[in-house]
Structure 1
Amino acid sequence: MKKWDDLPEFMKCDEVKVYYDILSRKKGSLVLKRIFDIVVGVILLILLAIPMLVIAVMIKMDSKGPVFYRQERVTRYGKKFRIHKFRTMVNNADKIGSAVTVGGDSRITKVGSKIRDYRLDELPQVFDVLSGDMSFVGTRPEATKYVEKYSNEMLATLLLPAGITSEASIRYKDEAELLDLADDVDRAYIEKVLPEKMKYNLQSIKNFCFVIDVHVMIKTLCAVLGKEKSHE
């Protein structure tokens, strides 16, 4: 972690300091977390190379546009990066709708619908994990316009790298369906969904330890497999 004085000015507030002090006492777990990300990331990249290639071909055959969706997101210390995800929507979908997806979204492609069900669209994020922009477990990286709406306390989630999964992600895995009936999707997300997800994200920082991270990954796997089973 950076020293407190080296943090971006927008993060230097009393609300963030509380969480900073908690994490500064857990340097061992932070080191293990990064080692785990690198080792597991390399293994997954090797194991998933062929499956990802197959998915990439399916995406190109299904609709026009690039294989990857590279929207700008925000990670640790407010750094902006372009996330790697398999494209599951029509090309330039973010220009013809909200940055969040609702259930039955007409922008989702046929192949996209299938790979979203099992979160296969997130497999390329292993590249972001290896680069250090993301971790396997952590607050999901939000688009800049949503981060700009963060309260001072929510900014504490930027003390750690953004994550592929988290307790909030598991509990809100059907987020799209929750937003489906909203008249204003962005407003509903900012005012209702985001604050609730942040309660879990902030609690995860307070309770942070490497063992809990591993437990969250196991819970995520069970949740995905459970969803797959429900389709049988």
Structure 2
Amino acid sequence: MRAFPPSLGKRLFDCIVSLIGLVLLGPLFLVLAIIIKVFDPGPVFFRQARVGQKGRRFYIYKFRSMRVFPGAEEGSFEAGCLTRVTTVGRILRKSKVDELPQLYNVLKGDMSLVGPRPEVSKWVAVYPDRWEKVLSVPPGITDCASVDYRNEEELLASSGDPEHLYRDEILPRKLSLYEAYVDHHSFLGDLKLILETIRVCLF
């Protein structure tokens, strides 16, 4: 009997876990939607254009944690700027709960549970050759860089030049981790990353 190709097995795992996750987390999503609406009237979800596998553009979904800002949906944002983050949003972002709607992106096939985090076009254009390799695999909700840079917002907010810090220091380091994932990823490695992500978010 022939084994499943690794990519097919990964996709099957993604579909099963994301579907179960969306069903089980449905009540939590409803509660969060009500809280977001009560404390800051506006859309419950935020979507933003990102660059996915093979350069395909898609919209990533999150619980909205910031006040509405023109252009944000198409990738416009100020690195390290936290002035628009809502009171509820600070809690959601700290716990990474705002990222949970991306299970829908996984179910759709835009993303995987584990893989390099998708970027906005602005930052993909800075290192196009390196991104070409990274984008050979589906982007993910979590990966090593997500764990290592879980406090990235605080780093950027405390910098005198957050754009420079992200472009010249943080992003190159992230790309090195992404490239290592492309070269060495495995099903067991993905499971370990999922468990490590849960650990750092909860504790």
Question: What TM-score do the two structures reach when normalised by structure 2?
Answer: 0.91
For structure 2, the 5+ residue unaligned runs are: none
Deviation, structure 1 residue 29 = 2.1
Given the alignment, which residue of 64, 77, 80 partners 2:57? 80
Given the alignment, which residue of 184, 203, 206 partners 2:183? 206
Pairing of 1:184-195 with structure 2 (within 5 A): 184-195=161-172
Once the two structures are superposed, residues 38-68 of structure 1 have per-residue CA deviations (whole angstroms, 9 ceiling, x without a partner) of 0001101110111001101111111132111
State how far apart, in whole Å, the 1-side matches of 2:79 and 2:63 are.
Answer: 15
State how far apart, in whole Å, the 2-side matches of 1:48 and 1:158 are.
Answer: 29
Is residue 79–residue 166 contact of structure 2 (8 Å, CA) maintained in 1? no
What residue number does 2:153 align with?
A: 176
Given the alignment, which residue of 132, 144, 149 partners 1:167? 144
Letter of the 2:179 partner, please give it: L
Structure-2 change in CA distance of 1:192 and 1:71 (3 Å):
same
Is residue 130–residue 175 contact of structure 2 (8 Å, CA) maintained in 1? no
RMSD over aligned Cα atoms: 1.8
Is residue 45–residue 61 contact of structure 2 (8 Å, CA) maintained in 1? yes
Q: Secondary structure at the match of 2:7?
A: helix
Given the alignment, which residue of 116, 126, 137 partners 1:139? 116
How many residues align? The count is 198
Structure-2 change in CA distance of 1:162 and 1:191 (3 Å):
same
Given the alignment, which residue of 57, 77, 90 partners 1:113? 90
Given the alignment, which residue of 101, 106, 131 partners 1:129? 106
Higher relative contact order (CA 8 A, sep 6+): 1
- Structure 1 outlier segments of 4+, above 4 Å: none
Letter of the 1:88 partner, please give it: S
Asked if residue 102 in structure 1 is aligned to residue 80 in structure 2, the reply is: yes
State how far apart, in whole Å, the 2-side matches of 1:129 and 1:101 are.
Answer: 26
Deviation, structure 1 residue 117 = 1.3
State how far apart, in whole Å, the 2-side matches of 1:208 and 1:185 are.
Answer: 31
Q: Secondary structure at the match of 1:153?
A: helix
State how far apart, in whole Å, the 2-side matches of 1:72 and 1:65 are.
Answer: 19
For structure 1, the 5+ residue unaligned runs are: 1-26, 227-232
Identity %: 38
Asked if residue 36 in structure 1 is aligned to residue 1 in structure 2, the reply is: no
Q: Secondary structure at the match of 1:84?
A: strand
Deviation, structure 1 residue 93 = 6.8
Deviation, structure 1 residue 35 = 0.6
Q: Secondary structure at the match of 2:80?
A: coil
State how far apart, in whole Å, the 2-side matches of 1:154 and 1:128 are.
Answer: 20
Structure-2 change in CA distance of 1:220 and 1:151 (3 Å):
same
Q: Secondary structure at the match of 1:196?
A: helix
Letter of the 1:140 partner, please give it: R
Deviation, structure 1 residue 145 = 0.8
